[in-house]
Amino acid sequence: MSVSTIGLTTSTADRKRRAGQRLILGLAGPSIQAEERELIRALQPAGFILFSRNVEEPAQVRELNRELRSLVGASTPALCSVDQEGGRVQRVKAPATVWPPMLWLGNVGRTTLSAAVGRAMALELRAMDFDLDYAPVADIHSNPQNPVIGDRSFGPTAQRVIEQMVPFFQAMQEEGMIACAKHFPGHGDTRTDSHLELPVVEEDPDRLMEREIAPFAAAVRAGIGMVMTAHVLYPAFDEEWPATMSSRILGGILRKKLGYSGVIVSDDLEMKAVRGRYPLDMQLQRATAATVDLFLCCKEPQLQHEAWECLIRLQEEDKVQDQLATDSFRRIQAMRERFLKDRPPPPDLSLLGCPAHQDLVMQIRAEGAV
């Protein structure tokens, strides 16, 4: 695979290809249904995301990922992804290692331990043929009443999050696992859950930059592979649009101010913060203008197909959207080349839940449990 050898033209076929390459699709269950197989072959998505509903046991996960990968063309190898943070967000459990919450790891406060956990988590995921983990959470545990972040964060201050998050994801990426810092520009200070409604963070811009955004700035400097957006409104930066749809926040702050040139992925388009609140074409148009590259469509086949058609139509109707889609395609391909090219073979499944990894769990529980 080479980015330079892939043609980037403006034919209908290429627009369809670029549209598919901006989607990460979810499945209904532990195997691929006939309708899903047909949709995947038509859309040729950038990749897939698995949830607990798709997981029976590690060998089945590995074979599912390999089957999904076989349905996508070799020039754009599928990114097989998962939310495996530890704690309450862990899609593959025993016999894989069941990791404690990252807040406990942050409480221990040893960078060597955080790196060891990131490395172990990456190796177990690679054994199951994953390429991308939507971790770490770069949000700060700044609001104890937050219903959705809490102990998913490494700590209550920007300094603690940065100190433990950076070695964690650098170790993951050293093992060939793409890491993703989420949820930009910070979901830690919300009082509501973006899965259910649109949260609002009422903070002044200096406070947001110094606290909530600081871990993301550190992640960018340290070479994070991907950044996920938050479906959250930040009136200090943009009074009208949530971060996923805000050029001021993503283009102005993440791209220009922080200097991030990598892949931006949206949070799930099925979340109530955006689903039904804004028309889909408006979401995709504004998010593309804000330089979002990939869109998570985690379950509904109708939404997946509708998003694909909308992304094609936006390219056909607007030269700016056509160029932005081309830019996204290039960034996604560059990420593939950075992380997937010349990786060593995945470890054996016997690594999952091994004594060395269980020892890491015991250390975290002994020193960091709350």
Q: Which pLDDT belongs to residue 6?
A: 44
**Which CATH number does the domain housing residue 26 bear?**
3.20.20.300
Q: HSE of 132 in the Cβ direction (CA atoms, 13 Å)? A: 27
Give CA–CA dist 51/267, Å, rounded: 14
- Establish if 3 belongs to a structural domain: no
- Establish if 115 belongs to a structural domain: yes
- Establish if 255 belongs to a structural domain: yes
Token pair in block for residue 343: 């990786």
Note if 348 is an active site residue: no
**Residues forming a β-bridge with 297:** 25
- Establish if 307 belongs to a structural domain: yes
Q: Give the total number of structural domains in the chain.
A: 1
- Establish if 127 belongs to a structural domain: yes
- Establish if 6 belongs to a structural domain: no
Note if 357 is an active site residue: no
- Establish if 5 belongs to a structural domain: no
Confidence (pTM): 0.95
Candidate list 193, 195, 305, 322, residue with the active-site label: 195
Q: Which residues of the chain have pLDDT under 50?
A: 1-8
Candidate list 131, 139, 238, 267, residue with the active-site label: 267
Q: Which pLDDT belongs to residue 193?
A: 64
Maximal C-alpha separation, the chain = 59
Q: Which pLDDT belongs to residue 192?
A: 65
pLDDT, one tens digit per residue, over 57-84 is: 999 999 999 999 999 999 999 999 999 9
**Residues forming a β-bridge with 23:** 295
Q: Which pLDDT belongs to residue 9?
A: 57
Q: At what angle do helices 12-20 and 319-340 cross, to 10 degrees?
A: 50
Give CA–CA dist 61/30, Å, rounded: 8
The whole domain housing 160 covers 11-365
- Establish if 2 belongs to a structural domain: no
Q: Which pLDDT belongs to residue 5?
A: 36
